[in-house]
A and B are shown apart, each in its own frame.
Chain A
Amino acid sequence: MKVTKLLRTTILTGLTFPMVLFILGVYNGVMQTFYRAGVIHRQSTAGISYYQGLTMHGVINALVLTTFFAVTFGHYTITHYLKKEPPGWSYLGSLVVMAVGTLTDLAVMVLGKASALYTFYAPLKASPLFYLGTALLIAGSWIAFAGWIKIWYQWKRENSDKKMPIAVLGTFVNFTMWLLSTIPVVYELLALLTPWALGLTDTVHVPLTRTLFWMFGHPLVYFWILPAYVGYYTILPKVAGGKLYSANAARLAFLLFLVLSTPVGVHHQFSEGAISGGVKMWVSILTFGVAVPSFMTAFTVGASLEYAGRRRGAKGLLNWMAKLPWLEPDNYLFGYFICGLILFIFGGMSGIINGSYTLNQLVHNTGWVPGHFHMTVAGPSLLFIFGLSLYMFSHISGKPLRYRRTVTIIPYLWMIGVAMLSHGLMAGGLMGEPRRTNLGLTYTNPESQLFNSRWVPSTTMTMVGGIIMGTAAALYFICFFKMALSKARATPTIELPEAEELHVEKPLPIVLNMRPWIVISVILIATTYIPSLSNVYKYGRPVRNRFNIDNPINTVQDEKK
């Protein structure tokens, strides 16, 4: 369908702006692998220190790019399926607020005033502007959701006999979960950290801030991945030449994510003293629960792909895999989907290990953890962002996609890079290699007393993976910006491949109504967070601490003297 110029400009900006910043994010990612492999034995390179670069890598890649994409993909999908445009105040308002927040964060990060990483663990202090900017980036996405809700109710009045399209359900589930989980972090940022960083308050309750952060930090990973799930259910079967195996199962999977995403955040706190073993065990159960919709997706998507392969003439047990459109320049999206799915098999399995209360002891805060999440966020999430950014940009701008062969190869190259990077990080992690550490200064520096030769092969493998990922990303940027800077040839439209359903299934009333699921979600959040927060207050106390990253002197006591 055709759309107004304002919405078109918003979507194009929402795709291009984070992609420009992502160049900086990728650069810092690749640089980290050089530091860690002991190729660079310095605090900083080209004016960016290791920890400053790590903060940029986290904030830009994990927060800015993913949030902008979820919102932009939401505008595109909702407009496409409801055949209505969201109100202008919503998409324009959200773009402006998110961009202001992002530029604020970017400025303080570039100036080196916010190098306390994207998890902003107090009592390490970042600039108050960083907390404010991050809160704006997050809150901006809420405005977009408000606009979609408005047109959803209009659509519902006009189409009372129709079911909610799966893509709309997936998007609404994602943003409902996001809304529930971002309230705690926005409260932490604005009510606790900003006044503390400004010096208005001197005390900070550290385990409380950590609990509020992870109440958001884990749902965040589902927020990264759910747009890709929308694609796996509604776009991939069509692209592969098949049909969606079961629509009811797709709806159920999304609703299970709505229920289970938020209460599992405490599994990031398994090795903390302020939360009791009972709560941790409960969260392990919930974390296993949230693996169920991923197993379901693996089955449903696998079955849809098998159907596609058989339609393409496959015989026998496994031949359907060979018949899928692996490397077809006219069907480049398939590679972006399938490479993400392959990585996600390993990302999901390692996630179950992390979520296991006792196993987590061996891997907590080691290289294993970034090894795991690069196979999720840099796997299915990022490859979906890459593929769909090209697709959406090309259609809504009317600009033709160039270098199609390169575009087709990129996801495979990227997948090889991620596999090597993650293998290196995970192998090193099992040998105790810490994450978030400038290893090149000490542990992988032969001249240091702390040199540990066991971590050299693993960090070298990580670096090779990082270089391959960097190469794939560089090729992608060339393709993306070549298209973005060319002249429009076709009429700008919004369109998406729409997968049909294989069976006509009986409508299952429970998967057609989000409300009971929202209620269950709130109940589960309460069963986890009421005991967690009461533990935090029971076993922890506030401290008068505020530290800059480069100085072990407490700035709170300084002011008293």
Chain B
Amino acid sequence: MDKYEFRTIGLSGLLLAVFFFAILYNSYGRKINMPTCIPADRTFQRTEVKKIDDHLYEFDIVARMWSYGLYEFVIPPGSTVDFYLTSSDVVHGFEINEKGVNMMAIPGVVNKITATFENPGVYPIVCNEFCGVGHQNMTGRIVVKQD
């Protein structure tokens, strides 16, 4: 095979290796939060907001056609939220674009991600997976404000 072909393979391999180290750095060095597996025995039937301490919250969210159980979730600035997400009917999405939170809500599975809300504001939650004719109405929001 031609020597330039070998160089192409080498260079593209090198480029992809750089990209892959960027992923490793983000996952382990910067500890970007990613959707996490939760054993199937942790189940919940309805959406609930649990305050663990002043700045730590746990949201159990059951997505269903066509809401997240609650429309508005209110927390103070600086709160860290563990989102536990499942679905009681079909597959839904759960995206908070500003925070890079993006999860699938799958019936029979619990998904988890953690996010910290430093700045006050309104963070829309959008369902980004087709879930029936009311899909475009399925939203919620996180309101970050002082009590």
Contact = CB atoms under 8 A, between A and B. Distances in A.
Interface string B5-28: 100110111011001101100110
A271 B85 CA distance: 12
A303 interface: yes
B2 A503 contact: yes
Interface stretch (B52-60, B73-81, B109-117): B109-117
Contact of B40 (A277, A359, A540): A540
Contacts of A123: 89-91, 107
Instruction: Give the most central of A117, A361, A438: most B CB within 10 Å.
Output: A361
B62 interface: no
Secondary structure at the A interface, as helix, strand, loop or mixed, is loop
Given A206-B91, A357-B23, A442-B136, A273 B12 contact: no
Contacts, number: 218
A207 B108 contact: yes
A43 B133 contact: yes
Contact of B23 (A206, A269, A284, A299): A284
A450 B100 CA distance: 20
A252 B20 CA distance: 23
Interface in A272-295: 272-277, 280-281, 284-285, 288-289, 291-292, 295
A275 B128 contact: no
A439 B136 contact: yes
A541 interface: yes
Interface residues of B, number: 62
A432 interface: yes
A280 B36 CA distance: 11
A547 B132 contact: yes
Given A288-B20, A437-B135, A358 B26 contact: yes
B108 A275 contact: no
A547 B137 contact: no
Given A121-B90, A291-B16, A539-B38, A206 B103 contact: no
Interface of B: 1-2, 4-5, 8-9, 11-13, 15-16, 19-20, 22-23, 26-27, 32, 34-40, 64-66, 85, 89-91, 93, 95, 97-98, 100-104, 106-112, 124, 126-137, 139
Interface of A: 43, 49, 51, 54, 116-117, 121, 123-124, 205-207, 210, 245-246, 248-249, 252, 269-277, 280-281, 284-285, 288-289, 291-292, 295-296, 299-300, 303, 352, 356-359, 361-362, 364-366, 431-432, 434-439, 441-443, 450, 452, 503, 505, 508, 535, 538-543, 545, 547-552, 554
